[in-house]
Amino acid sequence: MKIAMVGSGYVGLVSGACFADFGHEVVCIDKDQSKIDRLHDGVMPIYEPGLAALVDSNVKAGRLTFTTSLAEGIRGADAIFIAVGTPSRRGDGHADLSFVYAVAREIGESMANDAVIVTKSTVPVGTGDEVERILSDSGTEHRFAVVSNPEFLREGAAIGDFKRPDRIVIGAEDEFGREVMREVYRPLFLNESPILFTGRRTSELIKYAANAFLATKITFINEMADLCEKVGADVQDVSRGIGMDNRIGSKFLHAGPGYGGSCFPKDTLALLKTAEDYDSPTRIIEAVVKVNESRKRAMGRKVLDALGGADAARGKKVALLGLTFKPNTDDMRDSPAIAVAQTLTDAGVEVAAYDPEGMELAKPLMQDVTMVDDPYTAIEGADAVAIVTEWDAFRALDFARVKKLANAPVLVDLRNIYRPDDVRALGFDYSSIGRG
């Protein structure tokens, strides 16, 4: 069948390439001419392991194409996915749905055949109702159904997540929508991937509820890490001990500098706004958001403490290793590294940073930070080294070389990738999260 994917960013491009790999005919649509030109040249707009090869193989097979024309792209499509951005709106934190609604209006004006319109973007409860109204008001004579199909892709592992999902959630209000979506996901039906059909509003809420719960798990273990430091416990053992309980599970219980990225920050804010609009307070999520924001600056102060405190830190140098919110992505959105770097520069600390993929996107966000080409250049002359993102490249540092290059053997491990005793045995002043 033919699938049109409106939006060729992270979600749209990964989803489109994977659908093409399943054997569907896929057209990815984007208004950004330069992005489409780069895709035609085989240049990916994002860093995602395996994506370039997947796109290339399906373009060569004739199953994946790109265009800037929505009318052309959706012609003959059985399913039209809306995969445009829904950033946090300034002022109230609600999801900005202007791109979604603009696409819906253009689809209504351009429809040339019956089709199912699918919101792939993360959207608040009730968005599908408005998309349906917009399409109805467009005066289209063609049959349509509006379906919610939220994505659950992890950056850095998105292709595997799409092809081997924990679940597929489809919110549809009629059999036409359900029938087309069964065909869209038929390859995964055959692999017996769990598929949950719900109402449309239920599907929209599932995505927000899932991300909010995961953000809560992260924030919980981070607060336990702070308590561990006070009482002399080890947060990694605490995490293992509670994670072995099947009711809790081990995932998202890794203490660190706080969550960031494209989903958790904006989705928790959007859920808070939705709850407020419906007069149904979500106090737990409210606390999660506040604690997480405070934590990022606290991690900067932790580095200052390793330098002897804020007063002693002025004029010293720190090497930041890792800038993206997580490894295997170039995504800098709400990365803890931004707050850490700001806290340090506010205290008069010189900061040199290295990240394997994120420096180009980091530069405009961290203008007072010097970007360098490798970790050891950042470490040269540093009074402390801080690991902010757990890239594999930082898991096997040459500590003899670090000791030789740095002004002082001070390591602040904000991701707990090293064993304290091992590093201290090498003569380093070592601090980490929740391990004393």
Rg (CA), the chain: 24
Q: How many CB atoms lie within 10 A of CB 247?
A: 5
Residue by residue, DSSP assigns 136-192 as: HHTT--S-EEEEE----PPTTSHHHHHHS-S-EEEE-SSHHHHHHHHHHTHHHHHTT
CA atoms within 13 Å, Cβ hemisphere of 190: 7
- CB-based contact 5:12 (threshold 8 Å): yes
Residues in CB range of 232: below 8 A, 6 or more apart: 436
- C-alpha pair distances (Å), 114 with each of 78, 141, 172, 379, 399: 7, 9, 16, 60, 63
Residue of 18, 28, 228, 263 marked active site: 263
CA distance 225 to 388: 16
Please, what is the angle between helix 235-243 and helix 200-231, to 10°? 140
- Please say if 263 is a catalytic residue: yes
Q: Catalogue the active-site residues.
A: 263
